[in-house]
Amino acid sequence: MPIPSRRSGFLHPVASEITPRAVYEERRQLLRLWAAGAAGATLAAWAGRDALAQVPRPGKLTALPGAPSAVAGALSLEKLTSYQDASTYNNFYEFGTDKADPARNAHTLRTHPWTVEVEGLVKKPGKYGIEDLLKLSAQEERIYRLRCVEGWSMVIPWVGYSLSELIRRVEPLGSAKYVEFVTLADRARMPNLGSRVLDWPYVEGLRLDEALHPLTLLAFGMYGEVLPHQNGAPVRLVVPWKYGFKSAKSIVKIRFTEQQPATAWVKAAQQEYGFYSNVNPQVDHPRWSQATERRIGEDGLFAKKRKTLMFNGYEAQVGQLYAGMDLKTFY
């Protein structure tokens, strides 16, 4: 993606607006050195590292400006996951089911030109180029815990803005109850679309009030740069209190509906992956416990798992969305 120019209505980001990646990773590097000196390199290793070592580190990508978010609960004080880990340990099944596959294979993704179509129960349907979406709101940096259902989590600084900015612009009708997200399904460039792992294209969905919550993010970048292909370029969803698979990548269509969308994982295994998929340590997955998690990049040989937090730590911000619901039934 080219750097926006003043002629096109965008401004080049200035250096003071972007937190250098080196700042994010400095503390992690010190911890690695300490671990190596104190107990040997073995203690600094984490599960799956050998497989990821074969994946080349992404180069510096186009910078995106992002002021710190003012949304309550958006900025985490936790130590950030390194860019290397966040960009090489991914779920993006269109490029393969191994965690390292997306970083190896997603270079084939073409992200420009890119259009997101808004349709369904809205007064103002339309098509938005990626440049149009970038213009809708001042971008903010938000540091979220992103947790997946296999017991691992990361802390990632995303760059984007509240999805509600786009939703209010298109004016949903009173009959709209849900928002459906349809992602790219390009068989020429996504090598795993020939598999039967899921029903393609990948579809996710939120209740309208969930989509309007200010923590729900339409993200275009992370760590001050545009999104790497394997992390959902050029635009993705980030819903920090839900499991990672709810945050649809490489979105091409946003549809407003009256009926609950038939999402990819509900169709594939409804008994294991419910529509809501809120992080809830009290509800076990049928094949493993959800009570604890491992933070990617911190799991040394003797590291204890962390206790999983209700709503991934955002209970104060989003708990009211589910008042009166049985979260064991609506998992």
DSSP result, 133-190: HHHSS--EEEEEEEE-TTSEEEEEEEEEEETHHHHHHH-B-TT--EEEEEE---TTT-
The position carrying tokens 């390194």 is 82
Answer whether residue 263 is part of any domain: yes
Answer whether residue 216 is part of any domain: yes
Least-confidence region, from 81-85, 150-154, 166-170, 189-193: 150-154
Mean pLDDT of 130-154: 92
d(CA 231, CA 220): 10
Number of domains in the chain: 1
Domain span at 151: 15-322
Determine the pLDDT at residue 25: 45
Global pTM value? 0.83
User: Rounded to whole angstroms, what are the CA distances from 155 to 18, 82, 83, 95, 223?
Assistant: 18, 9, 10, 23, 11
Least-confidence region, from 40-54, 59-73, 78-92: 40-54
Determine the pLDDT at residue 255: 98
Determine the pLDDT at residue 151: 84
Determine the pLDDT at residue 6: 28
Assign residue 14 a region: left if phi > 0, alpha if psi is -120 to 50, beta otherwise?
beta
Answer whether residue 203 is part of any domain: yes
Q: How confident is the model at residue 171 (pLDDT cuts 50, 70, 90)?
A: very high
CB contact at 8 A, 71 and 142:
yes
CA 326 to chain CA centroid, Å, is 26
Assign residue 311 a region: left if phi > 0, alpha if psi is -120 to 50, beta otherwise?
left
Buried b (16+ CB within 10 A) or exposed e, 90-113: bbbbbbbeebbbbbbbbeebebee
Q: Report residue 34 as tokens.
A: 């300490």
CB contact at 8 A, 233 and 222:
no
Q: Kindly tell me if the per-residue pLDDT of 253 is higher than 90.
A: yes
d(CA 198, CA 202): 8
Q: Which residues contact 102 (CB under 8 A, 6 or more apart)?
A: 90, 91, 92, 95, 96, 229, 230, 231
pLDDT in tens, 274-319: 999 999 999 988 888 999 999 998 866 567 889 999 999 999 999 9
> How many CB atoms are located within 10 Å of the residue 38 CB?
9
User: Residue 15 carries which DSSP code?
Assistant: G
Q: Kindly tell me if the per-residue pLDDT of 230 is higher than 70.
A: yes
CA-closest candidate to residue 155, choices 80, 249, 93: 80
> How many CB atoms are located within 10 Å of the residue 302 CB?
8
Determine the pLDDT at residue 184: 98
Answer whether residue 330 is part of any domain: no
User: Rounded to whole angstroms, what are the CA distances from 224 to 16, 22, 141, 229, 246?
Assistant: 11, 11, 8, 15, 23
**Within a 13 Å sphere around the CA of 205, how many CA atoms are in the beta-carbon half?**
24
Q: Kindly tell me if the per-residue pLDDT of 11 is higher than 80.
A: no
Answer whether residue 327 is part of any domain: no
Answer whether residue 202 is part of any domain: yes
d(CA 121, CA 141): 30
Return the CA Rg of the chain. Answer: 19
Answer whether residue 134 is part of any domain: yes
CATH of the domain at 105: 3.90.420.10
- State the chain's mean pLDDT as an integer: 85
Answer whether residue 7 is part of any domain: no
> How many CB atoms are located within 10 Å of the residue 219 CB?
26
The position carrying tokens 């009708």 is 173
3-state secondary structure of 98: coil
